[in-house]
Structure 1
Amino acid sequence: MAKVGLQLYTVRDQLEQDFEGTIRQVAALGYQGVEFHAFFGRSAEEVKALLDELGLEVIGTHVGYPRLVDHLDEEIAYHKAIGNKYLVVPYLTEEQRQWEDVFDNLAKIGTAVKEAGLVLCYHNHDFELTEKLDDKPVFDAMFESVPADLLQVEMDTCWVHYGGYDPVEYIERYTGRLPLVHLKDMSRDGDGKAVTVELGKGEVNLSAIADAAVKADVEWIVVEQDYCANPPIQSIETSIQWIKEYANQGGQLNV
């Protein structure tokens, strides 16, 4: 049964102002785990103690691509100390999207991460679906190029949807290589661009995605909202309420 956590980027401003207090609020709302994007100067020992105090699991951490390329040993040591299994490439700038080089680097990073007993993942946005290599989305080309034992999938299902593809079909395609799924909702502005909203407030078929993720035996369904029109703590409370209602209606989520 999939567990439910939060990508803390959603509450990044609050986290920077009050790291410990914000994580306590996240735990109090019923999230079982947290995915980090930054630690704001906290030592691994401080982070581990806080997680242990609150009974929270660490889902993974989004680590900038340059850090993984140039400071991988430091990242591995820190994350082993906090009990984190998954190192996740979160985003590539346009300048970084030299795909052959990226694929080579992911294989090298993935090898070192595997040797350390951890797992490298890649988190998509929409451009990996809309950009093509040899007439296939970069998303698919990447995971064909880098072996599964060196690179796993953290699928952001909202960006798959916005990129013009069916998230359910993509979840099915990557079953067995998909430990982490981001669950995110969106509406569109007047120009048709994505605007992230609380779960259940937008156009994404969240129930179908959650059903598919559970069927695919994902470990974690991770709530994320890139930008919140409402106060972020209020937004993540609204989203966990959607999760609980889904579970109450028979959804196989551990909440």
Structure 2
Amino acid sequence: MNDPTRTGRPGSGISRRSFLGGALGTTAAVAVVGGAAAPARADDLAGGEHAKRRIPPSGIGMHLYTMRGPLAQDFEGTLEQLAAIGYATVGVSGRHGYDATQIRGMLDRTGLKAVLEHVGYDAITSGRWEQAIDDVRTLGGKWIVIPSLPSSMHNPAGYREAARRFNEAGLTARSAGLKLLFHNHEPDHRVVEGELLYDILVDETDPALVGFEFDLYWAAKGGGDPASYFREHPRRFPALHVKDMAPNGDFADVGSGVLDFAGMFRYARRGGVKQWLVEHDAPADPFLTARNSYAHLAALRY
């Protein structure tokens, strides 16, 4: 039986055991990437001798799952506040009773741009894929994102089936001017039957048809090394979920946790990153999270 703690990418030098035991077991303020600890946030912000780049303002976005509470109360008012903070783009995840045309109108009025929408895997398998593509085009997005796979597919055969379907669905999306992306969670970085599941998708999908919305928190928590993926698979990762990790492994506002974003982002250009979308799965105060996270990304140098 495979060791369930061996979830690291072959050659990455990190396993789930070393990550959880080393990075999350300490209360010291450290930043973690690729299994290595680095000085925390001051160096990220001030930059070192090689830290010359910044995230373009047009690339800092908010994944709207973070704001689902306020959106349910006042969708357009929430968008207005995000725009006032400085966000340029959003990733749509949940419509709260509105259709794509209505959301597009609110985005246009607030000056925000939707770059993608999350669409369930069953849209591919149930014949709703073309309608989902039409809705993303209505929203103004460039990418249509499958956020997860059914738990019944969390095995090598299931991931190979998903890769096959992604290639087919990606061809349809491309004909409509969009690209299919897959969003990862921790289970995608597990080794099952001797195979790293996420790598099956990376290796068996056509780069011209399928890319990835890379969730940095879930990759790190699963034992993956985001920077190595950017280096080894150029231009496959046009969008990121920038989500930080508290020392105990919980979610954290961007810039307040232990993940070394500057170290990851040094390879972002090679990875093809165009959008840095803030996400926090369980914010106590979504607008405070939005302000804190935007301020950190706007000031970050790498």
5 Å-filtered alignment, 1:18-33, equals 18-33=74-89
CA contact (8 A) 2:62 2:91 kept: yes
2:264 paired residue among 209, 213, 236 = 209
> What is the TM-score when the length of structure 2 is the normalising length?
0.75
- Please state whether the residue corresponding to 1:95 is helix, strand or coil: helix
Q: CA deviation at 1:96?
A: 4.0
5 Å-filtered alignment, 1:161-240, equals 161-189=220-248, 194-228=249-283, 230-240=284-294
State the structure with bigger RCO (CA 8 A, min sep 6), 1 or 2: 2
For 2:131 and 2:72, locate their aligned partners in 1 and report how far apart those are by CA, in whole Å: 22
CA contact (8 A) 2:160 2:200 kept: no
5 Å-filtered alignment, 1:120-199, equals 120-132=180-192, 135-189=194-248, 194-199=249-254
State how many pairs are aligned: 242
For 2:195 and 2:122, locate their aligned partners in 1 and report how far apart those are by CA, in whole Å: 26
Q: 2:298 aligned with 1:244, yes or no?
A: yes
Unaligned runs of 5+ in 2: 1-54
For 1:44 and 1:63, locate their aligned partners in 2 and report how far apart those are by CA, in whole Å: 13
CA contact (8 A) 1:69 1:109 kept: no
For 1:31 and 1:220, locate their aligned partners in 2 and report how far apart those are by CA, in whole Å: 11
Structure 2 residue identity aligned to 1:93:
P
For 1:160 and 1:176, locate their aligned partners in 2 and report how far apart those are by CA, in whole Å: 18
CA contact (8 A) 1:63 1:90 kept: yes
For 1:163 and 1:72, locate their aligned partners in 2 and report how far apart those are by CA, in whole Å: 29
Structure number with greater Rg is 2
For 1:200 and 1:144, locate their aligned partners in 2 and report how far apart those are by CA, in whole Å: 32
Q: CA deviation at 1:95?
A: 2.2
> Residue in 1 aligned with 2:94?
38
CA contact (8 A) 1:181 1:213 kept: no
CA contact (8 A) 2:230 2:270 kept: no
Unaligned runs of 5+ in 1: none
Q: CA deviation at 1:124?
A: 0.6
Q: CA deviation at 1:175?
A: 1.9
Structure 2 residue identity aligned to 1:179:
P
Query: Closer, same or farther in 2 for the Cα pair 1:245/1:61, shift >3 Å?
Result: same
> What is the TM-score when the length of structure 1 is the normalising length?
0.88
Q: CA RMSD for the aligned pairs?
A: 1.8
Alignment deviations for residues 133-184 of structure 1 (CA, whole Å, 9 cap, x no partner): 6x34111111211111221111111111111122211222222122111211
| Structure 1 stretch displaced more, 97-106 or 11-20 | 97-106
Alignment deviations for residues 101-120 of structure 1 (CA, whole Å, 9 cap, x no partner): 22222122112111222110
Moved over 2 A (4+): 95-101, 214-217
- Please state whether the residue corresponding to 1:176 is helix, strand or coil: coil
Alignment deviations for residues 177-218 of structure 1 (CA, whole Å, 9 cap, x no partner): 2211121111254xxxx3110012111111212332245441
> Residue in 2 aligned with 1:79?
136
